[in-house]
Structure 1
Amino acid sequence: MVQAQEGETVDAKSKAKGYMRQLQRKNILTFMLFLYDVVVVLSKISLKAQISSSTVADVAASIHAAETALGMYKERKSTPSMLEFETYFQSEDLTASLSGSTNIETHLTKMLEGLKNRLEGRFDDMQNGVCKALKIASFNLWPEDDKLQDYGNEEVKTLAGHFRRGLAAAGVDTTKVGVEWELLKARLNSKSDLNNFKKNSLPWSSIIPTVKEELPNICAILDLVLTIPASSAEAERGFSRLKNLKTTMRTCLKDDRVTDQLLIMLHSEEISSFDPHPAISLWHAGGMRARRPEYHRRRCHASSAASCSGNHDSDSEQEFEAEYSSDHGGSYIGDIQSDDHHDDFESDSD
């Protein structure tokens, strides 16, 4: 129920009444249900593009699925929610207040045609050349086990030829990628590993480290393919994090500090799977240094001895220096200067 709140102006109340009259028209309600289903379909593309591990082929497949679903809506002249119109508005009082017809075929067809034209221009070259070869990086597009034998052979050759200069500069032997691709498929296909990867949607980042030592050349090509961004979502996420990091209260942050913190924010593991113990051990080990429990007591003793005699070359100080040298194998004055320099350095760092 659309209703203006108490104390609102006459203009606001008249607008609320106008909205109420519009919501009592069946064609308006039907079009809202249609929009709901269309937004659900399009949101799947957006969500897939926002996943950092999504490949170009994954996003292209999501767009193709959306085109197929919208094409079915256009052919049927309806959507699942539109078919449930009577279920949503089955109350007798509500049904009696509705007027008009639920026929929106003209507007539905026009909008779906416009969306189809827009989507067809995205990744329209995925069926040719290098773009087609990128499909090997998506497990969801891999065929079943019985058709896996010849899958990807031509695509691997295409990628190796297209990126041959960069791969050669990185020390990749492109003559071995064909054999290593066959071995990689055999490894993944054994013990139904491929079906497990598809079912759990495991990324290549959890697979490549286990086979990189054995199959370095094909893993280098897969790493290269996975670095090609499928959308600008990752870059936009970086600028969003930068805005939250370098606020007006932190304008003095240096570039190296900003870079380090952004790397941590953008590329760290999820908090649920992050193990802090290695980082804590590294930090703890880096801050440890040798301690001398007798340092302050002996330093005070030497200062007292010097003040009492009024001469730094007194017999008591010489005896203390000799005792310290025999116990620690070094000069006490030299150690004091070294410690003072280290303490000053730590103070400057803090």
Structure 2
Amino acid sequence: METESGEHVEGFLAQTGEGSFHNVQLVGFGERREVFSRVKKELLSSVVASLQHRFQGVESHRVLLAASRLVDPREWPADQQELASYGSDHVNTVTEHFADVLDHMGCDRVKAKCIEWPSAKVIIKSLPQSLQQNAWQDFFVADDRRKTFCNLLLIVELILVMPLSTASVERGFSAMKRIKTDWRSNLSVNTLTQLLFISLEGLDLEDFNSMSVVDRWLKGLGVNTHTPFFPLTVLCDCVLRQMRSFLVSYY
């Protein structure tokens, strides 16, 4: 589009060739065609540069590159001597980048690098080629390996859940459009955040225990729900009065 105009621009230029557009005279447009072409080229160059910077390849991202080579056995060397020293720098890169998260999870980073990583490489590379790709899954399933490689598996799990696309962000925008409609435009930021969290991260209705929420709600109102023979009518009355108050204040 920098050298040739697109369909719509070409159509616009064709309709304004005589200095008018839909019978409206365009004063000085013919003299500004060069300015239009220059601005269009600058704009397109800026957009292309921004997109390239935003979606640059994994090869230019040090942490993503180290993470992908760490968990993919196809990237590991076949030679035993090369395999013995392979990956230590990748482990360092990933663990240093996620140091706060790993320390919070109780990961022994030194043990993961010096003890568990060399042993895991030997085990995975000794498997048939067809089984190596799903080897990490077996590490998570087997109880003995999950205990033996507990620190390394924290690192691997962190790598495997890293979002490599914007799908989760797009789902968030879709959920926000569903929740904050024209009729609910007065939702506060805090309420909208909580509703989005419930929609995106909450349990399914089949797994949701509503009674625990109602119990917590009533405790906030000062109602003792653990009193023996607590009447169900009182419970329903409290809930219905609170719902009515909410609906009146909302509408």
TM-score by length of 1: 0.36
Larger-Rg structure: 1
Relative contact order, higher structure (CA 8 A, sep 6+): 1
